[in-house]
Amino acid sequence: MLRIRAKVRRACEEISDNREFFLTLAASIVFLFVLLTKVFVKGVVFPIETSDKYIGSDRDKPFYEGCVDTMQYLKDPAYTKMNATFVMLTRNEEIDGVLHSVNSLESRFNQWFHYPYVFLNDVPFSEEFKREIKNAVSGEVQFGLVDKYMWQIPEETSDPRAFKNAIDTQGDRGFLYGGSASYHRMCRFYSGSFYRHPLVQRHEWYWRVEPEVDFYCDITYDPFFEMARHNKKYGFNILIEEIYATVPNLFRYTMAFIKKYRIKTKTLWKLFSMNHYILKTSNQELQDWVNFYRDVEPKLVEKLIIEDFLKGEDPEDSIGLNFLIRRSKSSTPIVEDKFENEEYNLIHFWSNFEIARVDTFDNPIYNAYFEYLDKMGGFWRERWGDAPVHSLGLGLTMNVEDIHYFRDIGYQHSVMAHCPKNAPHKQLVYKEGDPRHKRGYFKNWYDSTSENGSGCRCSCPSQRDTEDKSSECMDRWKNLLTADDAELDGGRHSGYVDTNKVERKLKQKLFQSD
């Protein structure tokens, strides 16, 4: 027994002497295992996730990749501080969440730029709330009251029984926040009232902030200035799909508004609308039948075979007869949510994060759009969120070039988080602009860099990036960024399959002997 213990002790001593070697070897094995597990499973190669790819084109790309020397940036004669503000709708009892957001925003950005804040509430802010906020921020602060006209939904007083019944029904059906009257008010307020508030109206630009949010990367340049310099009007950070049950009639009313006021949509419209106008043809029946690309060939084959059968050259043609009988028994397919050959794909900018010009929404077309939707009652009969309303409204007035994706800003609110990889060779040493945000040794540890990274000193959460969870949405955005001008010409969709060309190819296959 003593001999065994001695051998074990000597083995441990040898391992200790070669600790660095063994640690390096172990780390290498773990790295290779993780890499192989991530890339190969039973011979299947997994595609690279969206967050690892480059997203950008001449239409839009990050203003900067990595860090900027902020002190030099501020001294640049070309730089001008903008007439801009942060905007937050909140309540007195949310002070802890508000301070969490403010401290994160100050640490990551505003300690160098000192932009002001506008806090809004439907009741007066307490003196304690005001004192806490003023002690936390580096810019001026204004506290505003939202009047009843802006805050309350008209039907609360004109038809309170119907209003309560609609809200209770949505709660009973399990709609997320659907049973909360306050949530409905908030969505309506952000859809069409916040930008009309006198305190917001004093500014040209706004940055929307929510209580209890985190910023994960240092923003070492001025987003407001860069938006203005690059002729951008609206900036987003997260692109996802809406829950269908909350907006079943939103697109129908939007299309009715477009038709009533003869609105010519802009190129951004194609980000939010699904095209059912597949065929370039004057045959309306054929057009109604083909709603998806997968329908094109089967329906055209049916058409050609029936036409050939009806020529009467082969009356015993059972194949042609079967096709004719099958078509006579079938009815034109109904796509429930298709209007004017288009359908809402539920994609929207997550409006909890927005950096935009105030007149992005405060303009005749968007104001008329909001007023029209408000009269339809969807803000209480359904649970229309301000995010899909903003997005479809932007599709009426904005081109793709007007929009900026703030990919380099790491951000989280609730369960949604986007955080970029750090840009390679473009990371600078952190220098605080406010002693309150001095970072200790451990807070100066940041994530490693990546080839297509864009962030500056990012420390990302462990949860999966929304870019990867909503990859279909991001693919649609990337396709618009890289589309040629002809593809983006005009906001509305048009047929993109040449019927005659496809028919000629099919005829060669079907009737080669002819």
Q: How far apart are CA 116 and CA 99, in angstroms?
A: 15
- Ramachandran quadrant class, 133 (left: phi over 0; alpha: psi -120 to 50; beta: rest): alpha
Token pair belonging to 347: 């994609």
Q: How far apart are CA 83 and CA 453, in angstroms?
A: 30
Query: What is the CATH superfamily name and number for domain 70-270+350-420+455-475?
Result: Spore Coat Polysaccharide Biosynthesis Protein SpsA; Chain A (3.90.550.10)
Nearest Cα neighbor of 206 from 109, 69, 344, 83 is: 83
- Is-contact 167 380, C-beta < 8 A? yes
Question: What pLDDT does residue 23 have?
Answer: 44
Across 200-266, the runs of DSSP E, i.e. the strands, are: 205-208, 213-215, 234-236, 239-241
pLDDT at 266 over 70: yes
Question: What pLDDT does residue 330 have?
Answer: 83
pTM for this predicted structure? 0.86
Q: How far apart are CA 340 and CA 342, in angstroms?
A: 5
User: Taking the domains of the chain in order of start, what are their residue ranges?
Assistant: 70-270+350-420+455-475, 273-340+492-510
Question: What pLDDT does residue 46 have?
Answer: 55
| Element of type H or E holding 113 | helix 111-113
pLDDT at 235 over 60: yes
Q: How far apart are CA 150 and CA 186, in angstroms?
A: 10
Question: What pLDDT does residue 396 have?
Answer: 96
Across 57-114, the runs of DSSP E, i.e. the strands, are: 84-89
Question: What pLDDT does residue 490 have?
Answer: 67
Q: How far apart are CA 410 and CA 306, in angstroms?
A: 58
Question: What pLDDT does residue 11 have?
Answer: 42
Average pLDDT of span 40-62 = 79
Cα within 13 Å of Cα(170), Cβ side: 25
Window from 71-80, 319-328, 442-451 with minimum mean pLDDT: 319-328
- Is-contact 385 379, C-beta < 8 A? no
**Max Cα–Cα distance, the chain, nearest Å:** 103
Taking only the tens place, the pLDDT of each residue in 88-140 is 999 999 999 999 999 999 999 999 999 999 999 999 999 999 999 999 999 99
Window from 310-314, 341-345, 448-452, 461-465 with minimum mean pLDDT: 310-314
Catalytic residue ranges: 354
Across 122-263, the runs of DSSP E, i.e. the strands, are: 141-145, 205-208, 213-215, 234-236, 239-241
Q: How far apart are CA 449 and CA 52, in angstroms?
A: 11
Query: Who's near 5: CB < 8 A, 6+ residues apart?
Result: none
- What share of the chain has pLDDT > 90, as a percent? 68
Average pLDDT of span 146-162 = 94
Average pLDDT of span 487-491 = 74
Q: How far apart are CA 118 and CA 109, in angstroms?
A: 17
